[in-house]
Amino acid sequence: MFRFLLRRLAVLIPTFIGVSIIAFAFIRVLPGDPVALMAGERVMSPERHAELMRELGFDRPIWTQYLDYLGGILTGDFGNSIVTRRPVLDEFLTLFPATMELSLCAIILSVVIGVPLGIVAAVRRGSWLDQSVMGFALVGYSMPIFWWALLLIILFSGILQWTPVSGRISLMYFFPPVTGFMLIDSLLSGQEGAFRSAVSHLVLPTIVLATIPLAVIARQTRSAMLEVLGEDYVRTARAKGLPPRRVVGLHALRNALIPVVTTIGLQVGVLLAGAILTETIFSWPGIGKWMVDSVFKRDYAVVQGGLLLIAGIIMLVNLIVDVLYGLINPRIRH
């Protein structure tokens, strides 16, 4: 298992370097002058402009800038924001718990609903239940996030007034963050109604963000289960007279888990990408909204560091998925 893990880690090194090159080049191909955007409406002299370009290091050759940037990353220095002058890593760690809380709730909702729906659809193949589940999954996968979010806001926040429109918690409550997770911090605060307010603010963004992963997981689970249910060992288990739940839950589901786990791991990237739209629509103070604002401001350090940190998280999740492969099916280790 240790050698299996080392092989997976060795693959991550060139991947990380490739992502760093893409992140470094991405912001520089966008039109716009970061120094001019920093000045805003103020008039800046050519001398002052050249001084700031030299101070920020933008006057040096691109390859020199990249090597300095890569060297800083290896020491844990992702640079400072051009706009706020704060370290990029500090800003990321401050905002990431909000995105992580939203993404965790979304993936839990997707797995808890999607996997059972896929199993039921596979067991009842061809029935009205199977067709209904796959129909809803297709609609969920095809629905644009921003449109779906606006529909839910109009219905539940505007017409029914069951949920708030934006934010993480009502302005009535204020307490210092302990963990960064609003659900936990609201409980620790001891303020009456704080936890309920945090939950109500989390409902709509979670549903919106979970819609596409839920549909993908349900369809993949059904496909994997159908393939496994046709295998000889499943038919043998049925012929032995084992209960249907044992056949499906133990013999079929465990062997169908590998493609399902792969799909769940890949959905982490989908969640982080979807969080950009979701956080923008719901004014959720996470890294998605932070990245969007930084792109418009041409904040090179934030966009570069944010992209690289997000990519690192996705690679870490994929590594965990690879380890889970080895635990589910020991033959994969060899």
Distance CA 101, CA 298 (A): 27
Query: Which strand (E) or helix (H) includes residue 120?
Result: helix 88-123
Torsion, Cα of 183, 324, 4, 266 (10° steps): -70
Using the predicted structure, report yes or no on whether residue 334 has a pLDDT greater than 60: no
Using the predicted structure, report yes or no on whether residue 206 has a pLDDT greater than 60: yes
Using the predicted structure, report yes or no on whether residue 87 has a pLDDT greater than 70: yes
Q: How many CB atoms lie within 10 A of CB 172?
A: 9
Q: How many CB atoms lie within 10 A of CB 77?
A: 15
* pLDDT confidence band for 42 (50 / 70 / 90): low
Sole residue written with tokens 């017409």: 159
Residues 6+ apart with CB under 8 A from 119: 221, 222, 225, 248, 253
Q: Higher model confidence: residue 261 or residue 150?
A: 150
Q: Which segments within the chain are labelled E, that is strand?
A: none
- Cβ-based burial of 287 (10 A; exposed 0-12, middle 13-18, buried ≥19): buried
Mean pLDDT along residues 112-131: 89
Looking at residue 114, its pLDDT comes to 92
Looking at residue 39, its pLDDT comes to 59
In this predicted structure, which of 85-99, 128-142, 243-257, 302-316 has the lowest mean pLDDT?
243-257
- Cβ-based burial of 128 (10 A; exposed 0-12, middle 13-18, buried ≥19): exposed
Q: What percent of the chain has pLDDT over 70?
A: 90
pLDDT digits (tens, 9 = 90+) for 209-232: 999 999 999 999 898 888 887 777
Sole residue written with tokens 């129909």: 135
Distance CA 67, CA 186 (A): 44
Residues 6+ apart with CB under 8 A from 278: 102, 145, 149, 205, 208, 209, 284, 288
Q: Which fold has domain 92-296?
A: MetI-like fold (1.10.3720)
Strand partners for 80: 87
| 3-state DSSP percent of the chain in helix, strand and coil, to 5 | 75, 0, 25
pLDDT digits (tens, 9 = 90+) for 90-107: 999 888 999 999 999 999
Q: Residue 284's closest CA among 26, 101, 89, 65?
A: 101
Q: How many CB atoms lie within 10 A of CB 41?
A: 4
For the whole model, what pTM was predicted?
0.80
Using the predicted structure, report yes or no on whether residue 199 has a pLDDT greater than 90: yes
HSE, CB side, 13 Å, CA atoms: give it for residue 157.
18
Q: How many CB atoms lie within 10 A of CB 273?
A: 15
Helix (H, G, I), strand (E, B) or coil at 87: strand
Domain boundaries, given as residue ranges, for the chain? 2-74, 92-296
Contact between 290 and 88 (Cβ < 8 Å): no
- Which of 12-21, 52-61, 109-118 is predicted most confidently? 109-118
Q: Higher model confidence: residue 29 or residue 314?
A: 314
Contact between 328 and 258 (Cβ < 8 Å): yes
Locate 208 and state its tokens.
């919106």
Looking at residue 204, its pLDDT comes to 93
